[in-house]
Structure 1
Amino acid sequence: MNKVFTLLVFAGVPVSVIGSLLHWPSVIMFVIYCVTIIALAAFMGRATESLAVVSGPRIGGLLNATFGNAVELIISIFALKAGLIGVVLASLTGSVLGNLLLVAGLSFFVGGVKFKRQKFNVFDARHNSGLLMFAIIVAFVIPEVFSMDMNEGRTMSLSIGISIILILLYLFALFFKLVTHRGVYQSENSEGAHEHDEEPEWSKGKALLILALSTVAVAYVSERLVHTFEEVGEAFGWSELFIGVIIVAIVGNAAEHASAVIMAYKNKMDIAVEIAVGSTLQVAMFVAPVLVLVSLFFEKSMSLVFTLPELVAMVSAVLLTVIISNDGETNWFEGLTLLAAYVIMGIGFYLL
């Protein structure tokens, strides 16, 4: 399988460049871009696994989420520059839903089919649950509620203030987990107990280099993929909201999707959960606030005001994930429950 993905990468990237230069039909290029991104995501998954063996599940999962979200950040900045505020907010919503319901759901389901019970660090799960509740329910709902009695200028000021607080709290959360309390909350099933016996596929330097190069390639292909959405949407009857919430989010987070499922299949649930939940926290507490601040340099500024369907969907996803993951173990049926919730929301956004 690794040879297949290697072949797809070395064939897909040049074909993507050639196809874009020769202006091949958008539907054909859409398929080529998606296949290339999936193959690149597999490379990122292997690099993440090597880093996790060397550095531990927390740092490995954090690196994967960071490199994966870098792609979405780049795409969103291009969209902000083009004035597509609605698409950017929809893609942020899609990232939250995709990571909490699709990625975690697939990971729990695939891993649960192979292993009847899978455990992960319950202390990390509860810590992340608190941050999720804060980032989504407090920081995203407050601007929506308060903006009802505010003009556009005051709403933007509120969004800027919240964005700065979110970024600072996210940096303090990393400092808490990786410095002051690293190794303090270890569960009996923690993978760190036996990971030192495992040999990484690639060295730390090689894995970081592959992650960086893959991210650059994914960023290029994803940026080209965005230009096909309009024609592909017309061909398949997809609305702009559906493209932002479902398509852009899935493509922009393809790396995390693949990596988390692979980790779960190998019963490395600490890494899988860290990728899925950690990526969500990074999107909500870092990517979204940074986009708000970056938008100040463009013609149209973006506030942290989502639509009501987007807010309800994100809050529902957070509550469901918290309830399922707070016991520190999971199975295939819980994964199926998360996937069912994602499909239901996907249908709703498609019909809006």
Structure 2
Amino acid sequence: MTNKIFMILAFAGVPISVIGSLLHWPSTLMFVLYCITIIALASYMGRATESLAIVAGPRIGGLLNATFGNAVELIISIFALKAGLIEVVLASLTGSVLGNLLLVAGLSFFVGGIKFKRQKFNVFDARHNSGLLMFAIIVAFVIPEVFSISMNETKTLSLSVGIAIILIALYLAALFFKLVTHRGVYQPGNEGESHDEEEPEWGKNKALFILAISTIAVAYVSENLVHTFETVAKSFGWTELFIGVIIVAIVGNAAEHASAIIMAYKNKMDIAVEIAVGSTLQVAMFVAPVLVLVSLFFPVSMSLVFSLPELIAMASAVLLMIILSNDGETNWFEGLTLLAAYFIMGIGFYLL
């Protein structure tokens, strides 16, 4: 039933979006329409990557889901950079970190925990990811903020470019470590039990085709969505910070939001955690650095300098996630704790 609703929304939303943009319908109406269309398209991306996950296994499946989920946000952010909306882009990166670590992981732990009293996942992956989270958020994001106090804009941008290159290199090394040199070394005993029995919804070629088409459609809708931000912000009294942290982050990450929760409900916590934490690492160590480098080709360049509330919120989310996930087990109360932290931060960003 849900799939049929998303199918109708996707197939109706794309042509209506085209018509509305050509006829210059009200920005507020188009903002809502674009968001719904992107979420519907993201559901197809989620289903396609879920099919690929069954074939490829939890690690590669989770990586694919995070990659194509973040592709939506990357596309939105590039068009926002082109429009000079640097604050929205930085806020959306913050929102992705908070959304994945607190909202996605929180909902996954909560929904899965209601059905199963205890859910286990690969504790070695959890500890490996903890170190990367500490490095990516607390080291790589805090350092530019601290050093920028004593630097001019040119030097701050140079520092950000240097950090961006290092982050991308380390992210690629982390993938090589997990998927090549240490593949299977830290494998949990129960991994793969259910993947052999489950049939993918779509075949490999069909899933890849749907991913490609959905990504192209999302790119078109995203470009139009960015142009509505200013008008919508004035209409609802929202700040660019709130739009980036909450609205863009939720819409841009809709695919992995749904997939992680579904996987947790099926007790496939390795995939659910890989999506939530893996997506965060990808945002911090790949998407953000790529945006810094891409911004060099636009009139206004972006430095990796976040506001103090953004930095404290991200660091708090990382520390809370590490504390709750380092034992390799979870339950519904831990999920509720993560959700509570997300809503507290959401209220704060709304009132700023």
* TM band (smaller chain): over 0.9
Residue of structure 2 in register with 1:288 after alignment: 288
For the residues of structure 2 that align with 1:33 and 1:131, how far apart are their CA atoms? 34
Shift in Å at residue 52 of structure 1? Answer: 0.9
Residue of structure 2 in register with 1:298 after alignment: 298
1:163-312 → structure 2 map (5 Å cutoff): 163-190=164-191, 192-312=192-312
What code does the residue aligned with 2:136 have?
Answer: A
Residue 323 of structure 1 pairs with residue 323 of structure 2: yes
Q: Is the 8 A contact 1:45 1:262 kept in 2?
A: no
Identity of aligned residues (%): 85
Shift in Å at residue 156 of structure 1? Answer: 1.7
Q: Is the 8 A contact 2:79 2:226 kept in 1?
A: no
For the residues of structure 1 that align with 2:40 and 2:263, how far apart are their CA atoms? 16
What code does the residue aligned with 1:199 have?
Answer: E
For the residues of structure 2 that align with 1:105 and 1:124, how far apart are their CA atoms? 18
What code does the residue aligned with 1:89 have?
Answer: L
What code does the residue aligned with 1:178 have?
Answer: L
Post-superposition Cα deviations, 1:61-116, rounded to whole Å, max 9, x if no partner, equal 11111112122112212222222211111111111111111111111111112222
**Number of aligned positions between the proteins:** 351
Residue 137 of structure 1 pairs with residue 128 of structure 2: no
Post-superposition Cα deviations, 1:209-247, rounded to whole Å, max 9, x if no partner, equal 111211222222222222222222222221111111111
Residue 105 of structure 1 pairs with residue 92 of structure 2: no
Post-superposition Cα deviations, 1:256-309, rounded to whole Å, max 9, x if no partner, equal 111111211222111111111111101100111111111122222211111111
For the residues of structure 1 that align with 2:108 and 2:215, how far apart are their CA atoms? 22
For the residues of structure 1 that align with 2:38 and 2:298, how far apart are their CA atoms? 29
What code does the residue aligned with 2:239 have?
Answer: S
What code does the residue aligned with 1:341 have?
Answer: A
For the residues of structure 2 that align with 1:236 and 1:189, how far apart are their CA atoms? 49
Residue of structure 2 in register with 1:19 after alignment: 20
For the residues of structure 1 that align with 2:299 and 2:256, how far apart are their CA atoms? 32
TM-score normalised per structure 2:
0.96
What code does the residue aligned with 2:115 have?
Answer: K
Shift in Å at residue 37 of structure 1? Answer: 2.1
For the residues of structure 2 that align with 1:306 and 1:57, how far apart are their CA atoms? 33
For the residues of structure 1 that align with 2:148 and 2:34, how far apart are their CA atoms? 39
Shift in Å at residue 208 of structure 1? Answer: 1.3
For the residues of structure 1 that align with 2:232 and 2:259, how far apart are their CA atoms? 27
For the residues of structure 1 that align with 2:115 and 2:220, how far apart are their CA atoms? 36
For the residues of structure 2 that align with 1:297 and 1:24, how far apart are their CA atoms? 31
Residue of structure 2 in register with 1:158 after alignment: 159
Q: For 2:202, what is the secondary structure of its paired residue?
A: coil
What code does the residue aligned with 2:88 have?
Answer: V
4+ long deviations beyond 3 Å = none
Q: For 1:211, what is the secondary structure of its paired residue?
A: helix
Cα RMSD (Å) of the superposition? 1.4
Q: Is the 8 A contact 1:170 1:285 kept in 2?
A: yes
Shift in Å at residue 137 of structure 1? Answer: 0.5
Q: For 1:149, what is the secondary structure of its paired residue?
A: coil
What code does the residue aligned with 1:69 have?
Answer: N
TM-score normalised per structure 1:
0.96
For the residues of structure 1 that align with 2:183 and 2:327, how far apart are their CA atoms? 21
